[in-house]
Amino acid sequence: MKREETVDHHIKTCWHAIYRMYNQQAVKHESTTSMGFVALNIDPKEGTPATKIAPLMGLESRSLTRMLKSMEEKGFIYRQKDPNDGRSVRIFLTDLGKEKREVSRNTVIIFNEAVRKSIAAEKLETFFEVVSTINQLVDKKEIF
């Protein structure tokens, strides 16, 4: 089977193209695609428990730890002990972090609007069904 005939090749190349496009926008705002996704997963009012962010993004906690450290150094976030659970830390966006979150949000909206203008709704619905089915196959862990 040629790589162009594999499902994973098309998913990977498409995602990398989207990631690069988002990164080009993020760099203009002294950020990265990954930082933007983290910011989008932090509740702008209540903050978010640090332990909840990685699963929301499909990341390993090690990767998130480095990302949060970098975001904290840039002044995008701050950490605060959870008042309801002394063992837990909540991540909050600073004012600058909220600005970066809004830039990320707008970038995602613009991309999605462009896709929806270019691809018929029925085709997108089929795409979402196919991706959902692939995710279910992978999640079942019955392939290997």
Q: Mind listing the pLDDT tens digit for each residue in 80-114?
A: 998 877 788 999 999 999 999 999 999 999 999 99
**Residues 28-39, mean pLDDT to the nearest whole number:** 94
Let me know: does 93 contact 77? Beta carbons within 8 Å: yes
Within 41-120, residue ranges assigned H as helices are 50-57, 61-73, 95-118
Is residue 25 over pLDDT 90? yes
In angstroms, the CA 93 to CA 63 distance is 19
Is residue 42 over pLDDT 80? yes
Is residue 21 over pLDDT 80? yes
**Per-position b or e across 88-101, b if 16+ CB within 10 A of its CB:** eebbbbeeebbebb
Tokens 């760099």 sit on residue: 27
Please name which of 99, 57, 55 lies closest in space to residue 77, comparing C-alpha atoms.
99
In angstroms, the CA 21 to CA 100 distance is 16
**Residues 46-54, mean pLDDT to the nearest whole number:** 90
Give the pLDDT confidence score for residue 96 in this predicted structure.
97
Q: How far is CA 15 from CA 43, 75, 114, in A?
A: 25, 28, 16
Q: What is the pLDDT of the chain when averaged over all its residues?
A: 93
Is residue 134 over pLDDT 90? yes
Of residues 66 and 93, more confidence is placed in 93
**Residues 4-14, mean pLDDT to the nearest whole number:** 94
